[in-house]
């Protein structure tokens, strides 16, 4: 898959890396990136030689959320984000996933990374749950995973305000993830992956299943409520106008 917008490669013994690199869309959830991630995670889950996965982006981008076309389609009442389960790929992967978020994590792209088992942020990058900037309520399981991973107070602020936060600021706010200079994020991810890869695969799979039980159990109900909120908030004419305006900049 070396020519794909999603590249899968072995970086250490028992360690696979999934690299998102849709440079045309800047790692928004284009059809190519979405399909590539779903297919690649399916391949990883079927590989008995894999004990750990590192998920990362390219240059200054980790993942940038929905495309303008997808958001306008949702605002017109066509489909739902649940039509393709992109957001919980890392959660459903049987082996531990490390999100090496070396670049910006925007909206659903930030949420995608938070569903990993271990998250590493960069000091310089922007992280945001920016759904409300467009006028619609959060989706992609954000209302479930953000409070669990960031704490209720910070998660609520991020979702209501839709503000941008540098990794350095989130570190000052007390998040529990490592926050490092961008050029050190992958180094730390590889170090952690090597430590995990020393363990028996069955033990890693079993422990991951146990540690994620509460998140996995809560997610379907929260996603159902997010879809219901979208049915209320997406059809507003203001939302379509905001999407068109913000994507012009």
Q: Is residue 230 part of a domain?
A: no
Query: Taking the mean position of all CA atoms in its chain, how far away is CA 170?
Result: 17
Which pLDDT belongs to residue 248? 85
Q: Is residue 47 part of a domain?
A: yes
Closest CA to 80 of 146, 148, 136: 136
Write out the residue range of the structural domain in which residue 141 sits: 6-181
Catalytic-residue membership of 104 = no
Closest CA to 8 of 48, 39, 51: 39
Q: Is residue 102 part of a domain?
A: yes
Total domains in the chain come to: 1
Q: What is the mean pLDDT of each run of 10 residues along the chain (249 residues)?
A: 81 97 96 96 95 98 95 93 93 98 97 98 98 97 97 98 98 96 98 98 98 97 97 96 90
Q: Is residue 97 part of a domain?
A: yes
Q: Is residue 137 part of a domain?
A: yes
List 14, 78, 210, 230, catalytic entry: 230
Q: Is residue 248 part of a domain?
A: no
Cα–Cα distance between 27 and 58 in angstroms, integer?
Answer: 9
Q: Is residue 11 part of a domain?
A: yes
């Amino acid at each position: 898959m070396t020519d794909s917008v999603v590249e899968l490669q072995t970086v250490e013994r028992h360690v696979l890396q999934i690299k998102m690199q849709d440079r045309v869309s800047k790692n928004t959830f284009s059809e190519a990136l979405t399909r590539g991630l779903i297919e690649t995670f399916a391949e990883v889950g079927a590989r008995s030689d894999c004990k750990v996965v590192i998920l990362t982006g390219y240059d200054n981008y980790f993942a940038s959320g929905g495309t303008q076309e997808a958001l306008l389609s949702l605002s017109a009442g066509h489909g739902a984000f649940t039509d393709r389960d992109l957001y919980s790929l890392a959660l459903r992967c049987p082996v531990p996933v490390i999100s090496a978020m070396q670049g910006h994590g925007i909206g659903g792209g930030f949420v995608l990374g938070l569903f990993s088992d271990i998250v590493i942020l960069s000091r310089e990058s922007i992280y945001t749950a920016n759904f409300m900037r467009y006028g619609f309520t959060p989706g992609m399981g954000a209302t479930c995973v953000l409070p669990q991973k960031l704490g209720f107070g910070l998660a609520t602020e991020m979702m209501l305000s839709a503000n941008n936060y540098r990794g350095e600021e989130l570190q000052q706010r007390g998040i529990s993830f490592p926050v490092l200079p961008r050029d050190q994020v992958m180094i730390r991810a590889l170090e952690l992956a090597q430590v995990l890869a020393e363990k028996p695969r069955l033990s890693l799979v079993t422990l991951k299943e146990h540690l994620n039980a509460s998140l996995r159990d809560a997610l379907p109900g929260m996603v159902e409520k997010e879809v219901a909120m979208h049915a209320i908030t997406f059809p507003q004419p203001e939302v379509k106008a905001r999407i068109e305006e913000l994507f012009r900049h």
